[in-house]
Amino acid sequence: MQTVQAIVNGILVGGFYASMAMGFSIVWGVMNIIDLAHGSLIIIGAYVTYELCTHLGVDPFLTIPVAAVVLFALGYVLQRYLINRVLQASIFATLILTFGLDRVLVNANLRIFSADIRGITVPYTAAALTLGDLRIPLIRLAVFGVAILSTLALWLFLERTRLGIAIKATSFDPEAARLSGIDPARIYAVTFGIGAALAGIAGALVAAVSTFSPVIGDGLTTRAFVVVVLGGLGSVPGAIAGGILLGVTENLVASVIPSFSDAAAFALLIVFLVARPRGLFGRRFYAEI
Amino acid sequence: MLSRTRRFAALAVAAAASIALLSAQPGRAADTDNVIRFGASLALTGGLASEGTLVKDGYDWMVREINAHGGLTVAGKKYTVEIKYYDDGSDTPTAVRLTKKLLDEDHVNFLLGPYGSGATNATSAVAEQYKIPMVDAHGSANTIYAKGNKYIFGVLNPADQYATPMLQLAKEQKDPPKTIAFVREDTLFANIGIESAAKQAEALGMKVVYNEKYPSGTKDFSTIIAAIKAQKPDMVLAGGYQGDMIVITRQIREGGLGVKMLGFLLGPTVRGYVGTLGALAEGTLEPTQWNANMGWHDQWFNLSSEQFAAAFDKEYHYVPDYHAPQSAAALEVFYNAIRKANSLDPQKVRDTIASSTFESFYGPIKFSEGGINVGKSMACIQIQHVKTTGTNEQQYLPVPVWPAKLRGSAHVIYPLK
């Protein structure tokens, strides 16, 4: 029974991991930017939700669209006026830029919000679906639902809308895209904005189920990185699969020896890097830059 | 190529010589400008910044108090006191580097401790190396004081005593908890605290049904909670980073784990715990090094614990938990020793710290052979009367519940609902 509960917990937390990783994955896949500030963007999303909840007393799930819009705007501006400038340079230039950006965001957050640990406890914390001994807390189910829905929405957007198709076209061949009347600089800004909006959604979920402070962003970026490697770069279903694989592995190990859960997660990462570097759903086009 | 190597060698020799000259320079800054300088590397940014800031407030309060009382007179000469701070960003290797910098470049007279066991442990080696006494307020790991280091002194009770008041409280209840589960972050402080707690619990006749550690950075405890739930413990005791303790408390409720008693090595009184958890925090236990109701009286500044709390609140606009008075007491250890030694000589001050005892608003201070305060014992509080005011502001009282003399007429919430 405990094993089944561990698998269920792993799937639930896996959806949450997927939402943290999706924005990171699309930015990396389309523009070849490993966005080291992704964790800090998630934290900003968490603060948006936290501030709205504490000042207006609304449910954290209602603040998700606001967090997404605020972060989209921030992401769009960052890419348009800052990151686009180094896009043609080597990967090291973008790494250094996003690392520096991360430091700026962490310290700005410390200045504005202080280092106090924050979190939101909803009134329905104890509510759960039970099936015999199996227990599924409602809030965890809701987080899983939001994560899966937002990831699916992104997938539909990329497959079905003109803008989505333009993003994919630009990622495959910016020159050809330009010839077809697409402005790559604008597409990149929109893409980073979408990545940041997804970070904002993940941040709202972090605020609802966990605790956060300005300095925990690095750990979130690391988790997002692992999920992307497991699931496959730039792949929407890959983020969900990678997140769930990571969540289930961690929880299965934690149900027996909790102190090994991290070691197991990173062992899994190494196995994938050696045996299947493309990840579960990685396609050749994305990673081949 | 050869000439370049030679030039480099010459430069290196010159650099080494000047460093040697600098560090051999006798006498520190105080001799010239009537200021006794203390140095501290503190976690003012990074993961431990919220605690680090509380420590700084305590140190700063004491600096003002000493200077307001005319500073220190040593061998007929009047001195004011001052602290030189560096921010180590919650990083231990940085704390070590900055502590050396305080001694090498800033020539501080004495050292005050950083925040946390890891940083205190590492920087205490610097104190020993330079033979400059360091008094710390937040290095609770027993190992720090068990290495034969003659220059480190801690004013607090060490980690292995943290769980004692909670377990004693448990034993005193009608129908006391019979089984107990432990969970902890894999860090120095939590490991020592919980390992000692498990031994104490067994000695008190409780059955330990779960005892596991989790790696730092764990964000989800639902499976650990499910594993604990399967063992049906009466009591759960957890130790680790305060953000984790918030998530564990919440997930105990999410996971439907009903326990009679829930305690933490630290967490409930740290800023953010009750604010985040609201009513879920009601009834949680935490040991405390200090409480305003403890009734200690300071022999140097004529202040009771309560008067200290009021004076501090007036200046900093928050009610101090144990962090501030504990930090202030570390500086007062130097005050006491310098006055009694009537000297600024590091060796004489060290020897006086080791041999002299005094009463502070933080409690009696008396150091063991290893340099840990054995003059006082710990107490335990329970979070009670949690109320939501305004939209999301939480109010609560940390009610002292053990030992009985502190509790007075207050009641203990037991078992938890």
Tell me, yes or no, if B53 comes closer than 8 A to chain A by beta carbon: yes
Amino acid B32: pLDDT:
64
Q: Is B388 on the interface with A (CB under 8 A)?
A: no
Kindly list the residues from chain A whose CB atom is less than 8 angstroms away from the CB atom of residue B227. 2, 254-255, 258
Residue A174 pLDDT:
85
- The CATH fold assigned to A2-287 is ABC transporter involved in vitamin B12 uptake, BtuC (1.10.3470)
Q: Chain A within 8 Å of B227 (Cβ-Cβ)?
A: yes
Say whether both B76 and B213 belong to one domain.
no
Residues in chain B: 417
Residue B325 falls inside a structural domain: yes
Alpha carbons B173 and B263: distance in angstroms, whole number: 15
Selected residue of B212, B223, B246, B416 to mutate for chain A interface (largest A Cβ count, 10 A): B223
Q: Do B217 and A219 touch (CB under 8 A)?
A: yes
CB A241 within 8 A of CB A10: no
Report ipTM for this prediction.
Answer: 0.87
Same domain, B242 and B344: no
Contacts of B186 in chain A (CB under 8 A): 259
**Do the chains contact at B392 and A57, CB–CB below 8 Å?**
yes
Asked if residue B307 and residue B274 are part of one domain, the reply reads no
B90, B218, B254 ranked by CB distance to A140: nearest: B254
Min CA distance, B124 vs chain A (Å)?
26
For chains A and B, CB pairs below 8 A equal 138
Are A216 and B280 an interchain contact pair (Cβ–Cβ within 8 Å)?
A: no
pLDDT on residue A152: 86
In this structure, is residue B412 part of a structural domain?
Answer: no
Peptide bond into B403 cis (omega under 30): yes
Q: Comparing C-alpha atoms, which of A245, A249, A205 is closest to residue A229?
A: A245
pLDDT at B4: 53
Dump pLDDT digits (tens) for A149-158. Answer: 998 899 899 9
Helix A236-256 and helix A2-31: axis angle, to 10°? 140
B209 touches chain A (CB under 8 A): no
- Chain A CB contacts of B218 below 8 Å: 258, 261-262
Q: Does B49 touch chain A (CB under 8 A)?
A: yes
Domain locations in chain A? 2-287
Chain B partners of A250 at a C-beta cutoff of 8 Å?
A: 220
Q: Give contacts of A211 with chain B, Cβ < 8 Å.
A: 243-244, 246-247, 272, 276
Query: Given an 8 Å threshold on Cβ–Cβ distance, is B276 in contact with A128?
Result: no
B390 and B247 fall within a common domain? yes
Q: Measure A110 CA to nearest chain B CA, in Å.
A: 8
Measured in angstroms, the CA of A245 and the nearest CA of chain B are apart by: 15
pLDDT one digit per residue (tens) for chain B, 417 residues = 445 555 555 555 555 555 444 444 444 555 568 999 999 999 998 878 888 999 999 999 999 999 999 999 999 999 999 999 999 999 999 999 999 999 999 999 999 999 988 999 999 999 999 999 999 999 988 899 999 999 999 999 988 999 999 999 999 999 999 999 999 999 888 999 999 999 999 999 999 999 999 998 888 899 999 999 999 999 999 999 888 999 999 999 989 999 999 999 999 988 789 988 989 999 999 999 998 888 899 999 999 999 999 999 999 999 898 899 999 999 999 999 999 999 999 999 999 999 999 999 999 999 999 999 999 889 999 999 998 876 567 788 889 999 887 888 889 999 998
- pLDDT for residue A47 is more than 50: yes
Measure B391 CA to nearest chain A CA, in Å: 6
Q: What is the mean pLDDT of chain A?
A: 91
Same domain, B284 and B393: yes
CA dihedral (B332, B333, B339, B345) positive or negative:
negative
The count of domains in chain B is 2
> Does residue B169 sit in the same domain as residue B255?
yes
Residue written as token pair 């930015």: A27
Show residues of chain B in contact with A115, CB under 8 Å. 45-46, 49-50, 53
DSSP letters along A131-150, please?
ETTEEEEHHHHHHHHHHHHH
Q: Examine the domain organization and report whether B246 and B119 are in the same domain.
A: no
Would the CB atoms of B247 and A211 count as touching at under 8 Å? yes
Q: In 3-state terms, what secondary structure has residue B237?
A: strand
Kindly determine whether residue A117 and residue B223, on different chains, have CB atoms separated by under 8 Å. Answer: no
In angstroms, the Cα distances linking A78 to A97, A143, A195, B415 are 11, 28, 12, 53
Contact across the interface for B226 and A211, Cβ inside 8 Å = no
pLDDT of residue B25: 45
Query: Rg for chain A (alpha carbons), in Å?
Result: 19
CATH number at residue B86: 3.40.50.2300
* Residue B8 forms part of a structural domain: no
B414 found inside a domain: no
- Structure confidence at residue B26 (pLDDT): 42
Sorted by sequence, the CB contacts under 8 Å of residue B71 that are 6+ apart come out as B78, B79, B80, B81
B213 in a structural domain: yes
Task: Report the C-alpha gap between A285 and A288 in whole angstroms.
Answer: 5
Q: Is residue B358 part of a domain?
A: yes
> What pLDDT does residue B12 have?
53
* pLDDT for res B326: 96
**Residue A278 to residue A286: CA distance in whole angstroms:** 10
328-367 in B: which are within 8 Å (CB) of A?
Answer: none
- What are the phi and psi torsion angles at B153 (to 5°)? -135, 135
| The predicted structure's pLDDT at residue B1 | 43
C-alpha B227/C-alpha B172 separation (Å) is 28
Same domain, yes or no: B274 and B310: no
Report the percentage of chain A scoring pLDDT > 70. 98
Closest Cβ opposite residue A137 in set B254, B276, B280: B254
Q: What is the pLDDT, as a whole number, of residue B14?
A: 52
Q: Which domain holds residue B207?
A: 161-290+378-407
Q: Is the residue at B2 inside a domain?
A: no
On the CB side of B341, CA atoms within 13 Å amount to 21
In three-state secondary structure terms, B148 is: coil
The nearest CA of chain B is from the CA of A182 a distance in Å of 42
Is the pLDDT confidence value at A138 over 90? yes
SS3 for B185? strand
**Residue closest to A12 by CA, chosen among A209, A262, A197:** A209
B98: distance to nearest CA of chain A, Å?
20
CB B322 within 8 A of CB B303: no
Chain A partners of B220 at a C-beta cutoff of 8 Å?
9, 13, 210, 247, 250-251
Q: What is the DSSP code string of A205-242? A: HHHHHS-B-GGGHHHHHHHHHHHHHHH-TT-HHHHHHH
Q: Are residues B18 and B111 in the same domain?
A: yes
pLDDT value of position B155: 96
Closest Cβ–Cβ partner in B53, B253, B276 for A211: B276
Structure tokens of B148?
């034969």
Q: Is B254 in Cβ contact with A125 (below 8 Å)?
A: yes
Domain co-membership, B185 together with B55: no
**Does B138 share its domain with B192?**
no
- The CA distance from A192 to A214, in Å, is 21
Token pair for residue B144?
Answer: 């720090």
Residue B293 confidence (pLDDT)? 81
Residues of A with CB below 8 A from B253's CB? 125-126
How would you list the strands of the sheet with B35-42, edge to edge?
A: B72-74, B77-87, B35-42, B110-112, B134-136, B152-154
pTM of the entire predicted model: 0.80
Among the partner-chain residues B212, B227, B276, the one whose CB lies closest to the CB of A118 is B276
Cross-chain Cβ contact A119/B276 below 8 Å = yes
Determine the Cα–Cα distance for residues B66 and B69; give it in Å rounded to an integer. Answer: 5
My answer on whether B147 and B284 are in the same domain is no
